[in-house]
Amino acid sequence: MYSSSLYSNSSSLTKAASSAQTLGIWMIISVIVAIVGGIALYFTFLSKKNEGKFHGFLGWMYDTLTFKNMAVEMLLKITYLIGAIYITLFSLGLIAVNILACLGLLIFGNLALRVTYELVLISIITCRNTTEINRKMKVSETKTEEGRPE
């Protein structure tokens, strides 16, 4: 009776060790492919000479991978809405416990959440505006250089 349970335990340990080895090998292969693929994409698809060449999905992909499109802003707005709804609903659940706690969380919880998200979004908006100003400055410099006689 003991021998069969010992055999099944050692068998499951052997399977776990085999799975761990397979996972380790797969992790190493994944790292190598990711490095080679990242370098290849950077020097081919994402090179500066391809800027403005792609349209549709590939244009969107190019802009996303070169960080012209920021996904963080949209995700922050969605998580803010989720958080605000949660705080509001949770605070309404506190009515039965303590009306002051309900009002405090409803007002100050939503206010704190809003201020926190606005502070984070300010840095993102500042980055976006700085990038836009930089882009416009380059266009302006190019136009003034073209207009100058040599």
Other Cβ atoms closer than 10 A to 150: 3
Average pLDDT, the chain: 86
Integer Cα distance of 107 and 49 in angstroms: 52
pLDDT tens figures, 100-145: 999 999 999 999 999 999 999 999 889 888 988 988 888 777 776 6
Cβ atoms of 80 and 117 closer than 8 Å: yes
Cβ atoms of 85 and 106 closer than 8 Å: no
pLDDT tens figures, 24-51: 999 999 999 999 999 999 998 888 888 8
What six digits make up the tokens of 92?
């309404």
For residue 141, the model assigns a pLDDT of 75
Integer Cα distance of 150 and 145 in angstroms: 9
Cβ atoms of 72 and 65 closer than 8 Å: no
Q: How confident is the model at residue 147 (pLDDT cuts 50, 70, 90)?
A: low
pTM of the complete model beyond 0.85? no
The whole-angstrom distance between residue 129's C-alpha and the CA centroid of its chain comes to 20
